[in-house]
Amino acid sequence: MKKVILATSLSIGILSLTACGSNGDPDIVAKTDAGDVTKEEFYEELKARNGAEVLRELITFTVLEDKYEVTDKQIEEELETIKEQVGEEYEEVLEMQGLTEEDLKKDIKNSLLQEAAVTEGIEVTDEEIKTYYDRMTTEIEARHILVEDEDTAKEVEKKLDKGEDFAKLAEKYSTDDASAAQGGELGFFTVGSMIPEFEDKAFTMEVGDISEPVQSDYGFHIIEVTDKKEVEEDVGTLEENESEIRRNLMERKIDPQEAMEKMNKIIDDTDIDIKLDEFKNIFEESQVIG
């Protein structure tokens, strides 16, 4: 599934209270032999448990909707992608999550609004798109040794230069426990499967090459490419994939800290007057979007 996550929309539940009620008293949301649950009781409980989070989310996306445009066509395209990826279980997944399709469309819209905000100003070149597309046609088999610091990486590199066994060094040094037990083996992968730093290096290597230490957020990787092959399935044309590739490349360029600072600035620059006293400071107490 893509970045849009099937999650219960609490905001929808709260907003819909004005329209719900039993067939009799509109202030009753549930009747039992032991007593009734009123709309007010339900609202107060939801507010106490999730009120700050929901109100923060509602305000944030109201602000984003005023600043950025998301079209119905974009939402429908995202929805169709989700349906294709989920397959025949689509309706079942919606039901399990307690969502209607309209709920999902709202979640998609909110996701696209947030994406528009954090990717504003990020540029992706035609060359980058072409490189990504070319990599879509290739699968690489590799293994790696992941260590925490550069000194250890250089120590392992020297041992490899002296002819020591890669698999044994992976078992001894690698902090990637899952692959270390397999001698560093990662199996076959293609573009978009690995972190960018690892992937960018691996795709420039030939079979049998061993890289210098490659730094990522996880530490330092020493990579060996053990095989390459063409993907068996038809990946489609560049034109058919261009939009999705551009989005993937933009997402790779997002710095989480900068994105959060940008979202906070958007809120800071907006005149917001919260009428509920208990929620006056919700944008000071935590991040805009968790």
Q: Which residues contact 239 (CB under 8 A, 6 or more apart)?
A: none
Task: Residue 16: name the closest of 54, 69, 72, 65 by CA.
Answer: 54
Question: What pLDDT, on the 0 to 100 scale, is given for residue 285?
Answer: 58
**What pairs with residue 152 in β-bridges?**
none
Task: Residue 64: name the closest of 106, 111, 114 by CA.
Answer: 114
Q: What domains are there in the chain, each with its CATH number?
A: 10-122+254-285 (no CATH), 128-230 (3.10.50.40)
Question: What pLDDT, on the 0 to 100 scale, is given for residue 12?
Answer: 42
Q: Which residues contact 80 (CB under 8 A, 6 or more apart)?
A: none
Side-chain-side CA neighbours of 164 within 13 Å: the count stands at: 15
The values of phi and psi at residue 272, to 5°, are -120, 125
Q: What are the structure tokens assigned to 70, written together?
A: 């998301």
Question: What pLDDT, on the 0 to 100 scale, is given for residue 147?
Answer: 97
**What pairs with residue 130 in β-bridges?**
none
Say how far apart CA 47 and CA 45 lie, in whole Å: 5
pLDDT tens per residue across all 290 residues of the chain:
333 333 344 444 444 444 444 456 778 888 898 889 898 888 888 888 888 888 999 999 999 999 999 999 999 999 998 999 899 999 999 999 899 999 999 999 999 999 999 999 999 999 999 999 999 999 999 999 999 999 999 999 999 999 999 999 999 999 999 999 999 999 999 999 999 999 999 999 999 999 999 999 999 999 999 999 999 989 999 999 998 999 999 999 998 899 999 999 999 999 999 988 888 888 875 554 44
Question: What pLDDT, on the 0 to 100 scale, is given for residue 24?
Answer: 60
The predicted model scores a pTM of 0.70
Question: What pLDDT, on the 0 to 100 scale, is given for residue 31?
Answer: 87
Question: What pLDDT, on the 0 to 100 scale, is given for residue 67?
Answer: 94
